[in-house]
Amino acid sequence: MEALYSKLYNKYTKLKKEKESKLEQLNRDQEVKFVNYAAAADEMILYLKSENDRLRDQVDELKSELAFIRSSKDEQEVQYQKLLMEENQKNKELSEEIVKLKKLEQDGTCDSRHEKFESRQPNTDTGSPDEVAGSSLSAMKSKKRKSLPATERTAAPHINMEGDNAADKCSDRNGVGGTLNIQRPVCCQRKVDTSGGDATETVNCVFQVLVEFVVGMKLSFVTQKEELCISALHQSSGYSFSLTWTNNSCGEGELVYHLSSLGTFERVAPEWMRETMMFSTSMCPVFFERVSRVIKVSLQKRELWFSNEDIQIDVLSRLSAKILNRMKCVSKEWKCLISDRSFVRLQVKNTETAKGFFFQESQWSNTDIGFINYIPVEGEGEKVWRTVFNFLPEKVIILSSINGLMCCRSCFSSLDPRIYVCNPLNKQWITLQWPHLFKSSSSLALAFDPVQNPIDASTAFKLVLVSDTMTGGEDYHLSFDIYSTETGKWKRSNEFCQCKHKLIKNKGIFVDERLYWLTDGYQILMFHPQIELSWLITAPLPATYFRSIPEMCIGESKGRLCYVIISEDGLQLWVLEDYFASQWALNTCITLKELERENSSVLSNISKKMASSINRGTLPHWIDPLAFKDGMLFVRVATSIYLFRFETRKIKKLTEISMLGLNPMDSPTVIPYTMSLVPLG
C-alpha cells in the first residue's frame, strides 16, 4: 500500500511540476505580449500626440484664414455701404429729374394741343385739303423728331413694330405723306449665330447681338396685340422681365417694364424691380445701368461667400453624401459642382459610416419576396422605409452593397430577368446582362472601390457570381464567374474552390480588393477578383470550443474583415490579420453579464434565455447577429431588432420584427448601406 501511495505521490509531484512549468511558460508568454502591447501603446501615444499637434496647426491655419476672410468681408461691407449711399444719391437725383420731365411733358402736351388747334383753322392758301393736311402732319412729325434725342431719332427707323406687314403699311404711308421712311434694314435679314458654332439658335439682327453683349442679357422679340414686346433674361441668375413698346397720349414712344421672375435676386432686388412701371425711351440708359448695378452687386456678394473656388471645393468635400445631396437644391452652380465626377472622387476619399441597413425576407419555396425595408440607424424613434427602390422599373432582390452602390436582381418570375446596379441616393441605375448560370443557390457580389477604380469618365466595377458545380460523381466545387465593366461581358474564371459548405447570411463582403462569404462550416470563403485567387479561411474559434451552437456573422470596419460571435461566453469581435495563415486578433470580448448590466433596460436574463432556446433546439435562436459594419452590430433579440455599438457598448431598439414582413426570422437578407454620390451611366 505504501508503494502505491509513493507511486501516486510521485505522479502527483510530476504533474504538479508540469503544470507549474506550463504556468511559468504561460506567464512568460503573457509578459512578452504585455511588453509588446506596452510598446505598441507608447508608439500609438506618440503618433496621437503628433497627430494632435498637426491638427492644432491646421486649426490655427484655418483660424487665420477665417480672420482673413472676415477682414475682406468687412472691406466689402464698407464698399457696399459706399455703393448704397451713391445709389441713394442717384435715386434722389433721378426723382428730381422725373419731376422735371413730367413738368416738361405737361408743357409739351399743351403746346401740341395749341398747334393742333391752329392747324384746324381755315386756310386761304391755294391747294387741295389733302395737301394741306399732309403738310400739317409733316410739320408735326418733323417737330416731334427734332424734340427727341439724337440716339432716339437714329434708332427709331430700324425698329420693326409689326413685322413685314408693318413695314408694308409704313411704305404705303410714305407714299401718301412723303415724310416717314421706315424700312427693314439689311442687317435684320441676315442670320447671326450667337452660340459659338455649336448650337443652331440664331438671331436676325446684328444690333440684337450687340445689345445682348452690352447689357449682358438674352433678348427676344415677341409681338403681343400689335405691340412690340422685348423679353430679357439674365441666364446665370434666372432674372427676367419684358419691355413693351407703347405710345402715350401725345403719340410719343414709351416702354412698359413688367417683371417675369427675380430668380436668385429674390432677396436682394430693390422695390422698383418688383413693380410694373413706365418710362420714356430716353431713360433706357439709366434703366439698364441700374439693372446692371443690381446684377453686379449680387454677383459680388455671391463671390464673397466663397471667393476662392478651391476653398469651396475643400469645404464641401468634407460634408457627408447625404447633406451634399440635399445641397444640390441651393443653386445650379452647386448642383453642377456636387454632381461633377472629379468632385465625387475627392469626396469619397472621406470615410463614411453606415447610415442604415436593408432588410428583405428570404425567398419562400421558389417565390421571391420583392419587398425591401430600409432601417436607418440615425435619429430617434423607430423608422422603416419601404419605398427606397421605387425608382427601379420592377421589384428586385437585393444581393450586395459597397460604397453606396447596390447590386440587385429581378425576381425569378420575371419574363426578362436583369441585374441592376444602382445608387439609391441619386436614383441612378444601369442594367446588366443576366448570367446564364445564375440559379437560386448562387451568390452574386459587387466589387467596387471608388479610390482605386476610376470614376472620372465612367464608374468601373466588377461582379462575382459564385455557384456550386458538380465535378463528377457526387463531388461539388465552387466556381466563379466575373463580370467587368471594361469588357461588358461575363467570363468563367479558371479558379475553383473545394468547399462542401453552404454560403450563409450577408454574402459577399468587399474588403481591401477581396470578397468574403461566410459558410456554415466555420470557414470563410475568400476570392480576389483582380488576380482570380480563392482561399478558405478558418474561423478564429473551432466548433469544438463551444458547448452549444454559436451565432455569428462577418462584416467590415476600418478596412478590416471582422468576425462577430455570440455564444455562452459572451459577445466577441475578431479582426482578420492574415488570411493565408487564418490569423485573427481578438478586438473586443463582452460577457453576457456585462452586456446585461450595461443595458439592463433592454436585456435581462440573457444566459437563461439563450440556454433555454438552445436546449429546446428551436431555430432561429433567441439572439442572432444579422450584419456588422463600422463597429455597429445589427442584431435580432427575440422579436425585436436592435443596434449595438461596440464603441459605447450600448444597445438601441430599431423596430419590431413584425414590421418587416410575414416571415422575417427565417434567414433574411440584411445588407448595411453607406451613402455616396458615385454616379452611374
Q: Which three three-digit cell numbers place residue 427?
A: 436614383
**For 284-295, how does the pLDDT look when each residue is reduced to its tens digit (9 = 90+)?**
888 888 888 888
Contacts 24+ apart (CB under 8 A), 425-429: 425/321, 425/322, 425/325, 425/675, 425/676, 425/677, 426/325, 426/677, 426/679, 427/391, 428/679, 428/680, 428/681, 429/391, 429/392, 429/680, 429/681
Each domain of the chain, given as residue ranges in start order, spans: 150-305, 309-347, 356-673
pLDDT in tens, 224-252: 666 778 888 888 778 889 988 888 878 78
- pLDDT band at 328; cut points 50, 70, 90: confident
The answer to whether the beta carbons of residues 352 and 675 sit under 8 Å apart is yes
Looking at residue 214, its pLDDT comes to 76
Which residues, 6 or more positions from 111, have their beta carbon under 8 angstroms from its beta carbon? none
Q: Rounded mean pLDDT of the chain?
A: 78
* Residues 226 and 162: beta-carbon distance below 8 Å: yes
Instruction: Name which residue leads in pLDDT, 661 or 222.
Output: 661
C-alpha 188/C-alpha 192 separation (Å) is: 9
Q: Is the confidence at residue 352, as pLDDT, over 70? A: yes
pLDDT score of 299: 67
Q: State mean pLDDT over 672-677.
A: 92
CA dihedral 37→43→47→49, nearest 10 degrees, is: 90
* Mean pLDDT on 7-12: 81
For the ranges 123-132, 430-439, 446-455, 535-544, the one whose mean pLDDT is highest: 535-544
Q: What's the pLDDT at 415?
A: 84
What are the strands of the beta sheet with 523-528, ordered from one edge?
A: 503-511, 514-519, 523-528, 533-538
pLDDT of 174 > 60? The answer is no
Which residue would you say has higher pLDDT here, 54 or 132? 54
Predicted confidence (pLDDT) per residue in 520-543, tens digit: 888 999 999 999 999 999 999 888
Q: Which region among 50-54, 340-344, 614-618, 659-663 has the lowest average model confidence (pLDDT)?
A: 614-618
Q: Would the pLDDT of 365 be above 80?
A: no
What is the band of 155 on the pLDDT scale with cuts at 50, 70, 90? very low
Beta-strand runs (E) in 579-666: 583-590, 623-629, 632-637, 640-645, 650-656
pLDDT (tens digit per residue) in 403-426: 999 999 988 888 888 999 999 999
> Which DSSP string corresponds to 495-543?
EEE---SPEEEEEEEEETTEEEEEETTSEEEEEETTTTEEEEEEPSS-G
Indicate the pLDDT class of residue 364, thresholds 50, 70 and 90: low
Checking if the pLDDT of 215 tops 70, the result is yes
Residue 357 confidence (pLDDT) above 90:
yes
Please, which pLDDT band fits residue 429 given cuts at 50, 70 and 90? very high
Assign 167 a pLDDT band (cuts: 50, 70, 90): very low
* Threshold 0.75, pTM exceeds: no
pLDDT of the residue at 2: 76
**Angstrom distance (rounded) from CA 372 to CA 398:** 8
Q: What is the rounded CA–CA span in Å between residue 442 and residue 419?
A: 14
pLDDT at 156: 37
pLDDT at residue 183 tops 60: no
Please compute the mean of the pLDDT values over residues 421-437 and round it to a whole number: 90
- The CA distance from 545 to 139, in Å, is 117
- The x, y and z cell numbers of residue 276, run together, are 410694373
77-81 — which CB contacts under 8 Å span 24+ positions? 80/297, 80/301
Average confidence (pLDDT) over 608-618: 62
Name which residue leads in pLDDT, 296 or 125.
Answer: 296
Q: From the options 3.30.70.20, 3.90.1150.80, 3.30.70.260, 3.40.50.720, give the CATH code of 150-305.
A: 3.90.1150.80
pLDDT of residue 134: 42
**How much is the pLDDT for 92?**
84
What is the average per-residue pLDDT within 663-673? 86
CATH number at 356-673: 2.120.10.80
